[in-house]
A and B are shown apart, each in its own frame.
Chain A
Amino acid sequence: MKCRKVRQYLYGYCKNELTPAESDRIKAHLDSCAECAKEMEKVAVVSTLLKDSLEVFVPSPDFNEKLLVKIRSMPLEVEEKKRQTWWQKLLHETFPSIRLRWAAAGAVSVIILAVVATMVTQKRFSQGPESIVSDNIYTEGQDLVSSGEKGDSSLEKIFEQAGRTSTLSDKSFVIENLSTASLDKVFDSTKRGEDGRITPVDLNRRFIIERSPYQNLSRGNHYVLPVVSSQPASKKTDY
């Protein structure tokens, strides 16, 4: 057995942690090697020191008392913790380290920023810088149609667009976000009632406009225009 190997076992030998066979081999080596024997005595000194000089620390005298106070107040605490932990647990299991959680938070905020930015820019583009009547017309099941180029705030225009698509739902279509101001432009304002309500208007004997029950929805004013005549919209040229 080589000295280097033997020295690795000296503490084990000193502390009786070796198997009898290992112990015998170390002992045999130490008997024949003065260097290792000297090393062994150093180990023995440090061993004794480790055993004898380690102080025993004692927790403060009121430790048990404080602990029992906590224990007695515990059931409530446990319940509270349970109420909290389901999402915390999920968070901690998905992102075990604090760095990952920061990274995730960063990613989420970037996504939110991107979405908000897209929404803002899209709205600006869809409104168009030159439009006077910025109202949008929705027809049922149709994409957003922007109406009102400069000087073209006529009902005709609106109806033209609506008329093209009104065949999809032959009963009615919806004009959304139509402000009262632009409504005044396209409808005779004298047809309005005193309460600002638009009374049924007979327009070219084709359409009747009514206030929709959806008016109070957050989208703004909705107007439902039921088709009372089945004449095709394209024939309303005399309007």
Chain B
Amino acid sequence: MPSPDSELNRDRQVPDSKINDSDKDLLERVKANDTGAFSILVDRYKVKLFNLIYRMLQNREEAEDILQETFLRVFKERERFDPTYSFSTWIYTIALNLCRNELKRKKKFRFFGLDLIKDDRRYAVEKTFGSGSLSAVLEKAIASLPEKYRTAFLLREVNQLSYEEMSESMGVPLGTVKSRVNRARFMLQGQLSPKIKEHYEVSKSSPIPLWLL
């Protein structure tokens, strides 16, 4: 007995989507309203994007909303996607723009005296890790980076985009992207070095030689 989805697609003569299909192939099927193909795309990108968006916004619910909005945009604008570009760059561009707008909106709240951002940052990090762990220290340090450095750092270290992809999705020249990533790494090193030292002094079984720090 055919599943409801394949029943739906039979009329359109679209072959079943495969997990291994390329993003662009899947998007072609999404254009023919194949929700199965869309689900595969969602599964392929949701964790990557969520890790980026969550770290940008520092609030889980907002991050999920923005993640959802990203995919909704992809679906709405599916006809407008230019296949000469990479799908990955496109979806990152959408997500980054939504993040940027959301941060701007939050800044406006802060302007009116509702300081939501700081609270979000503190609670997000401590809720997840507890305040002492190395991960918490690292997440705090990332959260404290200025927005443009944070974006660059996350796209590179978390999402592992190439500098070329980053340049395209951030809309910033290649050289600028590279220098932002480098700046961000040194900023983090500056914040982390004393904390790492502290951390390994407390837990004596340090795998890293202390003289390095």
Contacts and interface: CB of A to CB of B under 8 A. Distances in A.
Nearest to B67: A59
Interface string A14-52: 000100000000000000000000100111011001110
B135 A55 contact: yes
A42 B189 contact: yes
A66 interface: yes
A74 B72 contact: yes
B64 interface: yes
B19 interface: no
B42 interface: yes
A94 interface: no
B158 interface: yes
Interface stretch (B45-53, B89-97, B114-122): B45-53
Contacts of A74: 72, 75-76
Contacts of A55: 128-129, 135, 139
Nearest to B182: A11
A46 B193 contact: yes
Contacts of B188: 46, 50
Nearest to A41: B212
Given A42-B213, A45-B213, A67-B72, 10 more contacts: A8-B182, A12-B182, A38-B212, A42-B193, A46-B193, A49-B138, A57-B51, A57-B54, A59-B63, A63-B46
Contact of B134 (A8, A11, A38, A53): A53
Contacts of B212: 38, 41-42, 45
Given A42-B212, A57-B54, A64-B42, A49 B185 contact: no
Contact of A66 (B43, B51, B68): B68
A49 B192 contact: yes
A74 B72 CA distance: 9
Interface string B116-142: 000000000000110000110011000
A74 B42 CA distance: 17
B38 interface: yes
Nearest first, the 4 A-B pairs at minimum CB distance are A59-B50, A11-B185, A46-B189, A53-B135
A59 B63 CA distance: 9
Interface of A: 8, 11-12, 17, 38, 41-43, 45-46, 49-51, 53-60, 63-64, 66-68, 70-71, 74, 78, 98
A46 B185 contact: yes
Interface secondary structure of B, over-half rule:
helix
A44 B204 CA distance: 21
B119 to A, nearest CB: 19
A56 B129 CA distance: 12
A42 B194 CA distance: 11
A49 B46 contact: no
Contacts of B51: 56-57
Nearest to B179: A8
Contact of B43 (A42, A64, A68, A78): A64
A67 B134 contact: no
A84 to B, nearest CB: 15
A82 to B, nearest CB: 11
B164 to A, nearest CB: 12
Contacts of B75: 71, 74
A42 to B, nearest CB: 6
A55 B182 CA distance: 21
B82 interface: no
Contacts of A66: 68
B76 A78 contact: yes
A68 B138 contact: no
Contacts of B17: none
A70 B72 contact: yes
B52 to A, nearest CB: 10
A201 to B, nearest CB: 71
